[in-house]
Structure 1
């Protein structure tokens, strides 16, 4: 059966080519479809080669026909494809359609395909020579494959109104001499796609009054090459445009070049040209420049520029992109985000209107604010700074920024813009999605790198009734007790804003939420007065950076984060929470949604109400936290915060996944059982690479810290100066800050580098010197000075008489040997590699290596026994208590050491235990021959 099928297929294949014929037109009528008009008799099929070599009676195609190839080879011969008819020509050998001297008129559909997958020199799907002509009002589709679409010399293509020619190939069309002409008339379309150069004139003439749209470049190769884009003609190309030496380009319409324009010949423009780059040319009208500045999008005289009807966001030119003024050739972009765009210029002159796309980079707009507006107050420069923060935020678009100089600022209106609301506590600032708000400027900077936010404090204060305690005159509430009267419920709200929204370099102080809810609508959201005294974040994902939250008094946190159903993340970076209070949480209250907190200090915050400390002095993660949400705290320093047992400094509740990494939690009140109240439902809490007070790390782990993720430590982090947290320069964000780590801190070089920031809270490198990251918000910027334990710890005598001197000896590879008379605590009794002591009772001494305030572990000497030393000793009486007998010669014993005894016999020469000597069960007895000198 398989053999039969194979033979049948081979037979069919052979039959097809066995009957392929060359058909010559011999018509006595014009009917292509008549068998009698062909020699040999029969209408050509797709496998037949067709020759038309007579001009006596020209063939006309009135329905669908096919041929393998067609050659029209005599002057005056004309093939016509009527409207509604289709001629399909396809061959693996080109040219598929060849016309020499004759012509083809297409009013229907002509499909010409060269199926040869291999490039053959000079081969084309259509070859036109010797006065050949094609007139088209229908549709011609040419596929040259690996070869040319069209090659022509001394021939003409007239694409008339309504005609569409589409040519694809190695080149769309190649002109071979000055007699090769393509006339693409008004209403006609010529399309083409090639991998490189689409149209080459070497030489030739291209006259366009319609639309030419090609993928690739266009080149006028030599003299007698000429392109004329006439009237309202449009020529578009994705590549470059070349006018070589002695070639000529004349443009009266639109020449739209995605690449660059090169001119070594003659190029004149009396229309519109758009290109990436321009050579020297004669411009009598308008050039459109890609990626140009707002005052250089167009090149032309002011008279010609008046033809520009506007710049738009859409190709239909219905959505304005801003304001264009022709008399000064300036474009002011509208309120749309910064970034790269394709905009559209509408240009009308004479009877032509063009919609010209061009690439445009909208540089994010920067607006400036000072405490008092200056100049025009439009906010476009420091000299013309606005005095209204909210107005500048409102005027901004996504990716724009607002720069705010140093000084004291207070909200001036509520969310509706009312500057005299019935309740002044509703005054507020609120962000706009994608806008970035920066503080910390002197008010003269020209670049962001010049900003010094540590020195130039931009202070957002909630003291709208101007009566807070301000004894130091800095208008900062150093503690929440400075707040007096009716301060605002929230200083700043971030509502319905995306992840590109940012706040950076602001000090927030003296916000005061309330225990009874009052709400106002902000960005379409009902904002309750109880959430976030300084900052309330709702349905938003901002980044908060380089900010200080100090002296705020709230209900649910100084900052409040609530992102129901949010898929992105709130980020709090490089910031301080200082001396804030909240009835539920003093620092940050994380209600819902992903939250990442990095390089943050929380110091001396309290959850406090009616003289009672409450839950989450520093941080609370709400019981409403959804499952699957990630709350990650990395490189936190949490110190001196207050709360009431059992809620503690940090409350972890809900169903989220919480982690503490590279963090320090220390000196909190209370500390029993650790400083986290772990009330998670189905969520997880993991602590790793952290110093955690009362965690039991290394011993009995406290479950309040969740899962022990490893590499934790329960011990003093050894801060530089916990009583001066802003250091000697009185500036936060500095390396001298008191919560930085000493060189011997157990937090130095003991964190993890995984998923940590590359800088710390001071913007110093993390890790230092490409090493291992530290724990806490500060990265020590020098090698650690960790001391090793002392070695060679000895004493020259182990048994001495009262008042005798012993010599203590030890060595330290780093630091100074320091001596103590107790294992922990106490004060030093001396320093040095050797130290003389005169003990009065049996004692052990301890040595440690110390450098600055860094101390090693203490290493004990051998016990020194202080007792009277006799000559020969004879013991006969029973011993029941503690007793030491020391002889400079011998001891003879016939006594009993009872069960309750702890006795030592020490002799320089010998000890004799004679008959009658007895040791009862339970007694402790030592007999040692050891060098002992008699007492002086």
Structure 2
């Protein structure tokens, strides 16, 4: 009996040892796998990279399209240089973000940490100029597309939820997109697609320069679409929009709630020389059987132009179920123009729309329009202005509280006020006085 027990004990011990060895081996494998996954999470891209490169090192850099297509690349480091959606002539090809991923530009190609890259967004360029240089007619329709185009027909792997925590575009330029196709008429620079029930396009966009993008319908640089039960609320910070244009809505940005919601949050950004043939030289907010409520803070608008309404900003509500309610705070609108109404901004409510523009603690000065008003409420629009500097004071139309008409320019730089949030200059002192006058 003792002998048999010894054999059993030995067998049991052997089994236990084998099990422990197996568990240990599995643990090592898991550690190795976790290490490999962590390593593979960052993929490096360069303009001289190769399809075969795995992106784990700068020496093995891959292509941007390849990195975007690989599920293991959750963070993409892009070396300084210029990148185009295609080397061919197919204008429908864009840099497609079809899953949550983080794009960071500004790398020289030697960095081992994100903090080591350059902060200059001009050094890494995503360009739609795929055809003859300088000729825009053959440019890509969109430079970047998040979540595919349209709704319904999109694959489930494309349509989805893109949130600030997992979808990032940071430290680069997006230039020379031209959205002039039959099904590619909006978002020359970036098409942010929140169309379809449950779809969300709300990436974090920081330190990005949008230049020279054009669209026929909406959003020369950025098209934020919340449609058919979907939502689009990109967060845009410390970015610049220069020389973008559109025939329709929003020379730089169009926020469109079309049976859905679009609520972009725009902060510490600059809009210069953007143009629209119709609504919103820089930004157009359109609630069309849906809701659009962009929040704009500490931003500067200058030298933007609209053919019809809103040199800097136009808010349009279509119908009783369409609501546009932009909020503009701690910002500067100077030197914008409209060939129609609203040198600075226009608020329009069609067919009983209940939209309204709110302006708080901002500077509105030196904006011009053919019809002589800076703030336009021609089509039953509503605008409220609080604790702000408004050239000429508050004329008929807007509702004003704590508004003063005092030239803020002596000893101050208006163009710097919006981005800095005020620095003790004349403009800031006047704004404080206006705020103090609130009941």
TM-score w.r.t. the length of structure 1 is 0.35
Verify: 1:487 aligned to 2:179, yes or no: no
Query: For 2:326, what is the secondary structure of its paired residue?
Result: strand
> What is the CA-CA distance between 1:373 and the residue it aligns to?
1.6
Q: Counterpart of 1:137? A: none
Q: Counterpart of 1:533? A: 220
Residues 659, 685 of structure 1: 8 Å contact kept: yes
Q: 1:489 to 1:587 in 2, by over 3 A?
A: farther
Q: 1:567 to 1:629 in 2, by over 3 A?
A: same
Spell out the pairing of 1:373-452 with structure 2 (5 A cutoff): 373=49, 377-388=53-64, 390-396=65-71, 400-412=74-86, 419-421=88-90, 424=91, 426-452=92-118
Query: For 2:115, what is the secondary structure of its paired residue?
Result: helix
Q: 1:563 to 1:492 in 2, by over 3 A?
A: farther
Greater strand proportion: 1
Q: Counterpart of 2:316? A: 622
Residues 559, 588 of structure 1: 8 Å contact kept: yes
Runs of 5+ consecutive residues of structure 1 not aligned to the other structure = 1-227, 232-249, 254-268, 272-282, 289-296, 300-304, 306-323, 335-361, 414-418, 469-482, 608-612, 727-732, 755-771, 773-936
Deviations 1:15-42 (A, max 9, x none): xxxxxxxxxxxxxxxxxxxxxxxxxxxx
Residues 286, 324 of structure 2: 8 Å contact kept: no
> What is the CA-CA distance between 1:677 and the residue it aligns to?
1.9
Distance, in Å, in 2 between the alignment partners of 1:680 and 1:436 is 42
Question: How many aligned positions are there?
Answer: 371
Q: 1:429 to 1:628 in 2, by over 3 A?
A: same
Distance, in Å, in 2 between the alignment partners of 1:629 and 1:534 is 20
Q: Counterpart of 1:298? A: 27
Distance, in Å, in 2 between the alignment partners of 1:751 and 1:441 is 42
Spell out the pairing of 1:751-790 with structure 2 (5 A cutoff): none
Q: Counterpart of 1:649? A: 344
> What is the CA-CA distance between 1:633 and the residue it aligns to?
2.1
> What is the CA-CA distance between 1:599 and the residue it aligns to?
2.8
Distance, in Å, in 2 between the alignment partners of 1:330 and 1:420 is 41
> What is the CA-CA distance between 1:284 and the residue it aligns to?
2.9
Residues 517, 529 of structure 1: 8 Å contact kept: no
Distance, in Å, in 1 between the alignment partners of 2:194 and 2:358 is 33
Verify: 1:510 aligned to 2:176, yes or no: yes
Pick the aligned partner of 2:389 from 691, 711, 721.
691
Q: 1:489 to 1:384 in 2, by over 3 A?
A: same
Residues 604, 641 of structure 1: 8 Å contact kept: yes
> What is the CA-CA distance between 1:444 and the residue it aligns to?
3.2
Distance, in Å, in 1 between the alignment partners of 2:111 and 2:78 is 11
Deviations 1:275-314 (A, max 9, x none): xxxxxxxx533248xxxxxxxx713xxxxx6xxxxxxxxx
> What is the CA-CA distance between 1:660 and the residue it aligns to?
1.9
Query: For 1:623, what is the secondary structure of its paired residue?
Result: strand
Verify: 1:707 aligned to 2:387, yes or no: no
Q: Counterpart of 1:83? A: none
Greater helix proportion: 2
Deviations 1:855-912 (A, max 9, x none): xxxxxxxxxxxxxxxxxxxxxxxxxxxxxxxxxxxxxxxxxxxxxxxxxxxxxxxxxx
Q: Counterpart of 2:238? A: 546
> What is the CA-CA distance between 1:745 and the residue it aligns to?
1.4
Q: 1:642 to 1:374 in 2, by over 3 A?
A: same
Residues 499, 569 of structure 1: 8 Å contact kept: no
> What is the CA-CA distance between 1:376 and the residue it aligns to?
5.1
Residues 494, 538 of structure 1: 8 Å contact kept: no
Q: 1:572 to 1:721 in 2, by over 3 A?
A: closer
> What is the CA-CA distance between 1:675 and the residue it aligns to?
1.7
Residues 126, 172 of structure 2: 8 Å contact kept: yes
Q: 1:720 to 1:420 in 2, by over 3 A?
A: same
Q: Counterpart of 2:33? A: 330
> What is the CA-CA distance between 1:628 and the residue it aligns to?
5.9
Residues 341, 370 of structure 2: 8 Å contact kept: no
Q: 1:392 to 1:596 in 2, by over 3 A?
A: farther
Pick the aligned partner of 1:581 from 272, 275, 286.
275
Residues 412, 427 of structure 2: 8 Å contact kept: no
Query: For 2:68, what is the secondary structure of its paired residue?
Result: helix
Distance, in Å, in 2 between the alignment partners of 1:251 and 1:641 is 83
Residues 121, 171 of structure 2: 8 Å contact kept: no
Query: For 1:747, what is the secondary structure of its paired residue?
Result: helix
> What is the CA-CA distance between 1:621 and the residue it aligns to?
2.0
> What is the CA-CA distance between 1:364 and the residue it aligns to?
9.6
Residues 316, 324 of structure 2: 8 Å contact kept: no
Q: 1:525 to 1:742 in 2, by over 3 A?
A: closer
Q: Counterpart of 1:167? A: none
> What is the CA-CA distance between 1:620 and the residue it aligns to?
2.0
Distance, in Å, in 2 between the alignment partners of 1:751 and 1:397 is 51
Distance, in Å, in 2 between the alignment partners of 1:408 and 1:382 is 17
Residues 639, 668 of structure 1: 8 Å contact kept: yes
Q: 1:394 to 1:572 in 2, by over 3 A?
A: farther
Spell out the pairing of 1:122-271 with structure 2 (5 A cutoff): 269-271=17-19
Q: 1:332 to 1:533 in 2, by over 3 A?
A: farther
Runs of 5+ consecutive residues of structure 2 not aligned to the other structure = 1-8, 148-158, 197-214, 227-231
Distance, in Å, in 1 between the alignment partners of 2:108 and 2:362 is 34
Query: For 2:67, what is the secondary structure of its paired residue?
Result: helix
Verify: 1:498 aligned to 2:162, yes or no: yes
Q: Counterpart of 1:669? A: 368
Greater Cα shift, 516-525 or 618-627: 516-525
Residues 341, 372 of structure 2: 8 Å contact kept: no
Distance, in Å, in 2 between the alignment partners of 1:690 and 1:513 is 37
Bigger RCO of structures 1 and 2 (CA < 8 A, at least 6 apart): 2
Q: 1:329 to 1:509 in 2, by over 3 A?
A: closer
> What is the CA-CA distance between 1:595 and the residue it aligns to?
1.9
> What is the CA-CA distance between 1:741 and the residue it aligns to?
6.1
Residues 255, 262 of structure 2: 8 Å contact kept: no
Verify: 1:561 aligned to 2:255, yes or no: yes
Query: For 1:298, what is the secondary structure of its paired residue?
Result: helix
> What is the CA-CA distance between 1:402 and the residue it aligns to?
2.7
Query: For 2:125, what is the secondary structure of its paired residue?
Result: strand
Query: For 1:284, what is the secondary structure of its paired residue?
Result: helix
Q: Counterpart of 1:639? A: 334
- Runs of 4+ with >6 A deviation: 520-526
Distance, in Å, in 2 between the alignment partners of 1:599 and 1:510 is 27
Distance, in Å, in 1 between the alignment partners of 2:99 and 2:375 is 35
Greater Cα shift, 532-541 or 448-457: 448-457
